[in-house]
């Protein structure tokens, strides 16, 4: 290659390099341990803070989310510490402020999302191509490792950190399946026009990984997301309303009425009839939910305070394993209403521009494709499917304030935005 030709090779952009490194970290920690997601998203966000100049893109979603965070702070220990004369000149005092971590994360994660939102198609396409192959490779590794009893993970842990019990190693391996399910639809969107065999391999891996590791929540989330994706494509209009408006209504209803539904199940004794068919872990969840709902109804409007779930002892081990119940318990129905508003606005934002008329009115679009006119892939069903998977997992697993879980949601959002850009024909 001559010097002249070499000088014409385009150099990767700063944003592309940072995003590429972030995706490498994501792949690494998907296998090594999800706690690294917070480090990954923080790394990317810190180096891309300049993209906050595009903060207006968040619109009303950002405004409502900010109000929710301010309500969270008002229901934290901050006011108590101020009134009790806590010494804020000491690092330990700041370290104990759990609310501060939740407030700072949107700063880093928001910058990461805005950077992905602003990425050029060529850069996004290259990054998503690499992620597609990494995704399939990681799924294969997880399946092989799970079939071997997590021996690979045990060996890696013993070499780099410390020995780990086989059962705990299998649990660690199974956590990767949550990322697989959430990343499936963005990866499929980016690979819409690529080799079909890769898509089939990715789907098979995404199904087999939860089955082999015994992770039921990711498998349920995948089933729900596939259903949502099919419905969004097959029935874009339901009863004269966009499917996105219908879904926003259902999700908002589910968030607001989850505590009341669980309380009704408890009062009617239906839970006792169902328990005999539930696995032990799901039976334990039902106990946690029933106890937490009773506490919610004692302080329905203000809640018991941010992070109070950790202080109820044995009935609630760490958190209620349900986003709606945890927010209702800690922030009351004021917080629950704000959470529902965020989800509703997010779904409506995804569905912006979706058809409001019967499908027959758009038949001419399919005719255009046969005439050779390029039609871009509609990314909305992919976004809705991804969001439905997040919703299912958030309603069954993890605490909503867990750093790694919030980081994973931010990373998935950024990757979806890159996939959306990469999928559009230019």
Residues 352-405 pLDDT 10s: 876 665 554 343 333 333 344 445 678 999 999 999 999 999 999 888 999 999
pLDDT for residue 372: 42
pLDDT, tens only, 54-77: 999 999 999 999 999 999 999 987
Average pLDDT over residues 340-350: 96
Asked if residue 221 has pLDDT above 60, the reply is: yes
pLDDT for residue 164: 85
- Measured between alpha carbons, how far is 402 from 164 in angstroms, rounded to an integer? 23
CA 350 vs. chain centroid, Å, equals 15
pLDDT for residue 374: 45
Sorted by where each begins, the domain ranges of the chain are 14-81+98-214+402-424, 237-354
- Length in residues, the chain: 426
Asked if residue 300 has pLDDT above 80, the reply is: yes
- Measured between alpha carbons, how far is 371 from 364 in angstroms, rounded to an integer? 11
pLDDT for residue 298: 93
Which structure tokens are listed for 309?
């779930």
pLDDT for residue 106: 93
Question: pTM of the entire structure?
Answer: 0.89
Tell the burial category of 100 from Cβ atoms under 10 Å away from its Cβ (0-12, 13-18, 19+): middle
Mean pLDDT, all residues of the chain: 84
How many other CB atoms are there within 10 angstroms of residue 97's CB atom? 17
Asked if residue 419 has pLDDT above 60, the reply is: yes
pLDDT for residue 11: 57
Tell the burial category of 423 from Cβ atoms under 10 Å away from its Cβ (0-12, 13-18, 19+): buried
pLDDT for residue 91: 65
Average pLDDT over residues 215-231: 91
Q: Give the residue, 374 or 273, on which the prediction is more confident.
A: 273
To which residue do tokens 């997590």 refer? Answer: 150
Average pLDDT over residues 21-37: 90
- Measured between alpha carbons, how far is 65 from 341 in angstroms, rounded to an integer? 9
pLDDT for residue 383: 95
Q: Which residues contact 342 (CB under 8 A, 6 or more apart)?
A: 61, 64, 65, 68
Asked if residue 273 has pLDDT above 60, the reply is: yes
Tell the burial category of 112 from Cβ atoms under 10 Å away from its Cβ (0-12, 13-18, 19+): buried
Strands 241-242 and 237-238: antiparallel
- Measured between alpha carbons, how far is 103 from 335 in angstroms, rounded to an integer? 15
Asked if residue 302 has pLDDT above 90, the reply is: yes
- Measured between alpha carbons, how far is 249 from 358 in angstroms, rounded to an integer? 20
pLDDT for residue 373: 42
Q: Give 142's pLDDT tier (boundaries 50, 70, 90).
A: confident
Task: Pick from 270-284, 319-333, 355-369 the range whose average pLDDT is largest.
Answer: 319-333
Beta-bridge partner residues of 242: 237
Beta-bridge partner residues of 241: 238
Burial 367-397 (b: 16+ CB within 10 A, else e): eeeeeeeeeebbbbbbbbbbbbbbbbbbbbb
Asked if residue 249 has pLDDT above 60, the reply is: yes
pLDDT, tens only, 77-113: 777 777 666 666 666 666 667 788 888 899 999 999 9
- Measured between alpha carbons, how far is 194 from 121 in angstroms, rounded to an integer? 16
Q: What is the dihedral of CA 49, 55, 58, 59, to 10 degrees?
A: 160
Question: Could you give the C-alpha distances from 60 to 57, 65, 345, in angstroms and in order?
Answer: 9, 8, 7
Q: Give 136's pLDDT tier (boundaries 50, 70, 90).
A: confident
Looking at residue 85, what DSSP letter applies?
Answer: T
- Measured between alpha carbons, how far is 101 from 107 in angstroms, rounded to an integer? 10
CA 165 vs. chain centroid, Å, equals 29
Q: Give the residue, 171 or 12, on which the prediction is more confident.
A: 171
Tell the burial category of 262 from Cβ atoms under 10 Å away from its Cβ (0-12, 13-18, 19+): buried
Of 31, 49, 29, 48, give the one whose Cα is nearest residue 39: 29
Q: Give the residue, 3 or 268, on which the prediction is more confident.
A: 268
pLDDT for residue 366: 37
Asked if residue 155 has pLDDT above 60, the reply is: yes
- Measured between alpha carbons, how far is 45 from 39 in angstroms, rounded to an integer? 10
Asked if residue 3 has pLDDT above 60, the reply is: no
pLDDT for residue 361: 38
Tell the burial category of 11 from Cβ atoms under 10 Å away from its Cβ (0-12, 13-18, 19+): exposed
Q: Which residues contact 39 (CB under 8 A, 6 or more apart)?
A: 25, 29
Question: Could you give the C-alpha distances from 5 to 13, 81, 122, 217, 336, in angstroms and in order?
Answer: 19, 64, 20, 52, 59
- Measured between alpha carbons, how far is 115 from 51 in angstroms, rounded to an integer? 6
pLDDT for residue 269: 77
Average pLDDT over residues 7-11: 52
Asked if residue 415 has pLDDT above 50, the reply is: yes
Task: Pick from 28-37, 123-132, 157-166, 323-332 the range whose average pLDDT is largest.
Answer: 323-332
């Amino acid at each position: 290659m001559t010097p002249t030709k070499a000088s014409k090779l385009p150099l990767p952009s700063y944003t592309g390099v940072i995003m590429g490194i972030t995706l490498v970290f994501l792949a690494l920690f998907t296998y090594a341990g999800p706690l690294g997601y917070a480090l990954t998203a923080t790394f990317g966000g810190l180096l891309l803070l300049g993209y906050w100049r595009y903060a207006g893109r968040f619109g009303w979603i950002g405004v409502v989310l900010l109000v929710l965070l301010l309500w969270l702070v008002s229901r934290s220990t901050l006011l108590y510490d101020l009134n009790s004369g806590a010494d804020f000149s000491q690092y330990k005092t700041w370290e104990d402020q759990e609310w501060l971590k939740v407030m700072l994360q949107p700063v880093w994660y928001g910058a990461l999302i805005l950077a992905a939102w602003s990425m050029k198609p060529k850069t996004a396409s290259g990054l998503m191509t690499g992620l597609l192959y990494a995704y399939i490779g990681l799924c294969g590794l997880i399946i092989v490792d799970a079939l071997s009893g997590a021996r690979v993970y045990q060996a890696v842990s013993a070499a780099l950190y410390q020995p780990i019990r086989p059962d705990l190693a299998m649990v660690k391996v199974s956590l990767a399946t949550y990322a697989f399910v959430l990343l499936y639809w963005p990866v499929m969107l980016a690979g819409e026009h690529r080799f079909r065999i890769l898509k089939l391999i990715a789907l098979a891996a995404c199904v087999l990984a939860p089955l082999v590791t015994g992770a039921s929540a990711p498998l349920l989330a995948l089933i729900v997301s596939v259903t949502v994706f099919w419905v969004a494509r097959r029935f874009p209009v339901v009863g004269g309303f966009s499917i996105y408006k219908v879904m926003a209504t259902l999700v908002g209803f589910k968030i607001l009425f989850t505590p009341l539904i669980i309380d009704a199940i408890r009062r009617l004794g239906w839970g006792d009839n169902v328990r005999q068919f539930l696995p032990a872990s799901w039976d334990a969840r039902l106990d946690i939910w029933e106890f937490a709902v009773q506490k919610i109804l004692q302080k329905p409007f203000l809640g018991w305070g941010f992070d109070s779930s950790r202080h109820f002892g044995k009935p609630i081990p760490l958190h209620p394993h349900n986003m709606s119940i945890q927010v209702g318990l800690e922030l009351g129905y004021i917080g629950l209403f704000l959470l529902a508003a965020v989800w509703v606005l997010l779904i409506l934002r995804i569905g912006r521009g979706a058809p409001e008329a019967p499908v027959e009115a758009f038949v001419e679009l399919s005719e255009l494709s046969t005439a050779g006119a390029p039609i871009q892939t509609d990314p909305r069903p992919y976004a809705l499917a991804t969001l439905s998977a997040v919703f299912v997992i958030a309603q069954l697993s993890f605490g909503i304030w867990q750093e790694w879980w919030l980081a994973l949601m931010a990373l998935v959002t950024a990757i979806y935005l890159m996939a959306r850009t990469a999928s559009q024909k230019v």
